[in-house]
């Protein structure tokens, strides 16, 4: 049985009708986009149309879009590939500067480089709202600009919703020729993205966060950004990413991106109103509840809420039993015990980080979803707080 209220769009959002139509129509169509015969050329057309649609959504040229199997793969390709390429040009370039809010696709890639490839990972501070400390970034860069391989800062936090000042990040790095990558998986489509205007060198996006299918993402590599491949083989995507491109998934990705972009302004307004209703309702039921993130620079449909004294894991199970789906943080960390590193990086105490729930809205969300949450929340919080007191 599906959820009575699905409030976990930050983990994945339901298929948009436009993407479902493309999947249904093309699923039985044969063709490898790399083949030169008619079937192959037909598959290639679907891929190239999707490439144009993704490029249009992020202010890039179609030739700058490299399709991948996921946002995680796109981040790995950017972080590892740019690091290897930069270090090959100059052996001094071993420093990787990241924010402490990064998705594990970025942070784990960076720390793997440190463990296995001789990189030095340095973390840029954030303020209590999760906003990047640009002065600290400038200090880290200025200490030795020639040793910095890349900077990676996510466009918007998947856990607390804070939107980062990417143009200002680029302004610090670009004068020294340092490439900047941004994980924009959570930002698209809610945040306007234009890689050319921002000056970004690389940007990662994923289909299933915009109403497309799981199993396809993209890395935008602007201009002549050099990247050493992670996957080796046929070099299908600009000799940067090998593997046959799944034309059906890619076409559905393009359809979802176009549909989400066309509805973006109205959706942002609608989601912000729904989120405000949710937050007001939550705080009306529990005046002790506190919001995480930046109220002035945040995603319109995401609310990260601390419920003091609550066992968030117990609350999740209780909400699930009532037909309400939400999360305690990134779905990619499911099953991992302990408070979120992202929340701790903003200065939250461990007990408050462990008492945080994330509610995220999307294109299928309605006022009924919010009402369903608010109806069961008082009982759930009471039971979850008793569980915390008992230590169970």
The residue-averaged pLDDT of 244-255 equals 97
pTM of the model: 0.95
Number of structural domains the chain divides into: 2
The residue-averaged pLDDT of 360-369 equals 98
The residue-averaged pLDDT of 55-64 equals 98
310 and 349: one domain?
A: yes
What does the mean pLDDT of the chain come to? 95
Residue 281, Cα to own-chain centre: how many angstroms? 27
Q: Could you tell me which residues come within 8 angstroms of residue 239 by beta carbon, excluding any fewer than 6 positions away?
A: 229
Q: Which residues pair with 213 in a beta bridge?
A: none
Confidence of residue 37 (pLDDT cuts 50, 70, 90): very high
CATH code of the domain covering residue 364: 3.90.1150.10
CATH code of the domain covering residue 94: 3.40.640.10
Instruction: Give the Cβ contact number of residue 206 at 10 Å.
Output: 28
Handedness of CA 13, 14, 20, 23 (dihedral sign): positive
- On the question of pLDDT at 19 being above 90, the answer is yes
pLDDT of residue 330: 53
pLDDT digits (tens, 9 = 90+) for 138-185: 999 999 999 999 999 999 999 999 999 999 999 999 999 999 999 999
Residues that are catalytic: 332
pLDDT digits (tens, 9 = 90+) for 324-344: 999 986 544 445 557 899 999
pLDDT of residue 189: 93
Q: Which domain holds residue 64?
A: 17-261
Question: Where a domain ends, among 261, 281, 315?
Answer: 261
**Residue written as tokens 């590939």?**
81
- On the question of pLDDT at 3 being above 90, the answer is no
24 and 160: one domain?
A: yes
257 and 286: one domain?
A: no
Extract the tokens encoding 99.
């924010």
């Amino acid at each position: 049985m599906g959820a009575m209220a699905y409030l976990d769009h930050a983990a994945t959002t339901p298929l948009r009708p436009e993407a479902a139509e493309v999947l249904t129509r093309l699923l039985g169509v044969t063709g490898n986009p790399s083949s030169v015969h008619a079937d192959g050329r037909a598959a290639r057309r679907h891929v190239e149309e999707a490439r144009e649609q993704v490029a249009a959504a992020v202010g890039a040229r179609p030739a700058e879009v490299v399709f991948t199997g996921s946002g995680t793969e796109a981040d790995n390709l950017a972080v590892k590939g740019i690091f290897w390429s930069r270090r090959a040009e100059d052996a001094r370039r071993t420093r990787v500067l990241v924010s402490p809010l990064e998705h594990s696709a970025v942070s784990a890639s960076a720390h793997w480089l440190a463990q296995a490839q001789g990189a030095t990972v340095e973390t840029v501070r954030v303020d209590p709202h999760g906003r990047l400390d640009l002065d600290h970034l400038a200090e880290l860069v200025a200490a030795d600009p020639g040793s910095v391989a890349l900077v990676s800062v996510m466009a918007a936090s998947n856990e607390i919703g804070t939107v980062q000042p990417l143009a200002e990040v680029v302004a610090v790095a670009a004068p020294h020729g340092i490439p900047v990558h941004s994980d924009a998986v959570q930002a698209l489509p809610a945040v306007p993205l234009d890689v050319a205007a921002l000056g970004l060198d690389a940007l990662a996006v994923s289909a299933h966060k915009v109403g497309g299918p799981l199993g396809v993402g993209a890395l935008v590599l602007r201009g002549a950004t050099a990247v050493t491949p992670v996957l080796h083989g046929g070099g299908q995507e600009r000799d940067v990413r090998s593997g046959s491109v799944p034309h059906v998934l890619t076409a559905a990705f393009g359809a979802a991106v176009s549909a989400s972009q066309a509805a973006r302004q109205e959706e942002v307004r609608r989601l912000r109103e729904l989120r405000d209703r949710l937050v007001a309702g939550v705080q009306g039921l529990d005046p002790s509840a506190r919001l995480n993130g930046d109220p002035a620079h945040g995603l319109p449909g995401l609310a990260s809420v601390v419920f003091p004294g609550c066992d968030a894991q117990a609350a999740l199970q209780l909400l699930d039993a009532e037909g309400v789906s939400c999360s305690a943080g990134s779905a990619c960390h499911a099953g991992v015990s302990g408070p979120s590193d992202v929340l701790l990086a903003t200065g939250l105490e461990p007990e408050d980080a462990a008492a945080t729930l994330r509610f995220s809205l999307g294109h299928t969300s309605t006022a009924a979803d919010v009402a369903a949450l608010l109806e069961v929340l008082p009982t759930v919080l009471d039971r979850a707080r008793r569980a915390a007191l008992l230590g169970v």
